[in-house]
Structure 1
Amino acid sequence: MGRGRVELKRIENKINRQVTFSKRRNGLLKKAYELSVLCDAEVALIIFSSRGKLYEFGNVGITKTIDRYQRCSFTPQDEQHVECETQSWYQEVSKLKAKYESLQRTQRHLLGEDLGPLNIKELQNLEKQLEGALAQARQRKTQIMIEQMEELRRRERHLGDMNKQLRLKLESEGFNLKAMESLWSSTSAAGNTAFPFQPPQTNPLDYQTEPFLQIGYQQYVQAEASNVPKSMACETNFMQGWIL
């Protein structure tokens, strides 16, 4: 008796569903292996269970087969679209390159370089551009100088206000400059007349009460050079050694 036809729908029983998945999965993997061996075909099989578990088979490698599939999945329309897009990008790059070269050439002209290929009209336009740029630069310089002058004037007014405030503060506290000068002059005059008597200047040697011994041969040598006898010279040197 043959097996009856199985209705294709989700198996409600969890255990039966798991058993059916295991059997049919193994059969599918076996059929993929047999197909790759018998027919020399490149087969790749990927299975995910309901729990997220991965089962795979690839006779030459899953990654290699997927890359080959991506290369072969492009249709002629996709290839044409890619070619058109590439051509559009190439044209855009060409436009940007031409614009860049034009800007570089204009910059050289503004710097006074590579002026040979220019005609009279182009040179006149270049002259007008330079004059306009020079006028704008001078206008900006004048504006900056005016702003700096205004800032300096503002600081001057601020410092003047601070000076006035300090002067008012000093006058309110009674420290007037003229009063201080008069007070200083009167104090100096009083200091000069307070001690009119000046002590006489005396020689410090007059207050020495103790003898001072001086030992040396300078006076003795001078005495020998003179006409005084040696005995008187020795006595003179000895007496001069003691200074009262």
Structure 2
Amino acid sequence: MKKMGRGKLEIKKIENKTNRQVTFSKRRNGIMKKAQELTVLCDAKVSLLMISSTHKLYHFLSPGVSLKKMYDEYQKIKGVDLWLKHWEEMQEEQRRMVELNNMLRTEISRRLGGDLEGLTLAELRGLQQEMDEAITEIRNRKYNVIKNQTGTTRKKVKNLEERHGDLLMDLEAKFGGAQFGTGDGEQGNYDSASMYGNEGAAANLFALSLHPY
């Protein structure tokens, strides 16, 4: 328990979100003020960082002091290296990435027929099997593409045939279902078709299409 003025306040998390935000704001301002007073009154180097429960950052640095300088001085006084572990982790990550990159380059080269000298018979067989499976996949994909394209072409042809049939039916209805011919024995029918020349070339085409074979 800690005394605060005349009453007693139990130090624990404030459950009410609004009250917690108000308390943080008030005490944050108080800490900032104390840090500034220490800097002025005691010629102290002060670095203060605060992160609220809403993930907002607040900080105070003494005039003329950077955060890096504070870290460097801290490391010097404590005799520790805060960056060494991080640097080592970065170096290890770089080593792994370089190794992975080299491995991928080798795999690509082998699939193009290079870098095969150091492979054993079993490894060569495995590589050949992978290549055969890849070729099968490519062929299947090519077959599907051709099949889809052929289906589209057939659909277009079918649509054209349907349109042609509709046109013939329209012309037949227009000319009363007359049968016209172009042969020598049916000159009269052909002459009859010629009577409709004022209807345009479509009528003549219709007459020819109705000629019995």
Please report the TM-score for the alignment, with normalisation by the length of structure 1: 0.45
Matching residue of 1:155: 156
- What is the Cα-based RMSD across aligned positions, in Å? 3.6
Matching residue of 1:90: 91
1:96–1:69 Cα change, 3 Å: closer
**Which of 182, 185, 206 is matched with 2:191 structurally?**
182
Identity of aligned residues (%): 16
Superimposed CA distance per residue, residues 195-234 of structure 1 (whole angstroms, 9 cap, x where no aligned partner): xxxxxxxxxxxxxxxxxxxxxxxxxxxxxxxxxxxxxxxx
The alpha-carbon deviation at position 131 of structure 1 amounts to 0.7
The alpha-carbon deviation at position 164 of structure 1 amounts to 1.3
Structure exhibiting the larger radius of gyration computed from Cα positions? 1
Gaps of 5+ in 1: 1-27, 36-41, 46-57, 189-244
2-structure distance, mates of 1:129, 1:83:
44
1-structure distance, mates of 2:88, 2:174:
89
The alpha-carbon deviation at position 126 of structure 1 amounts to 1.0
SS of structure 1 residue aligned to 2:64: helix
Whether the 8 Å contact between 1:109 and 1:115 is mirrored in structure 2 is yes
1:138–1:67 Cα change, 3 Å: closer
Q: Which residue type is aligned with residue 178 of structure 1? A: F
Equivalences for residues 39-50 of structure 1 within 5 A: none
1:70–1:151 Cα change, 3 Å: same
SS of structure 1 residue aligned to 2:165: helix
Q: Which residue type is aligned with residue 144 of structure 1? A: V
SS of structure 2 residue aligned to 1:63: coil
Aligned length: 135
1:79 has 2:81 as partner: yes
The alpha-carbon deviation at position 173 of structure 1 amounts to 2.1
Matching residue of 1:106: 107
Please report the TM-score for the alignment, with normalisation by the length of structure 2: 0.51
The alpha-carbon deviation at position 121 of structure 1 amounts to 1.1
Q: Which residue type is aligned with residue 132 of structure 1? A: E
SS of structure 1 residue aligned to 2:119: coil
Gaps of 5+ in 2: 1-36, 47-61, 182-188, 198-213
2-structure distance, mates of 1:174, 1:187:
9
Q: Which residue type is aligned with residue 64 of structure 2? A: T
Matching residue of 1:7: none
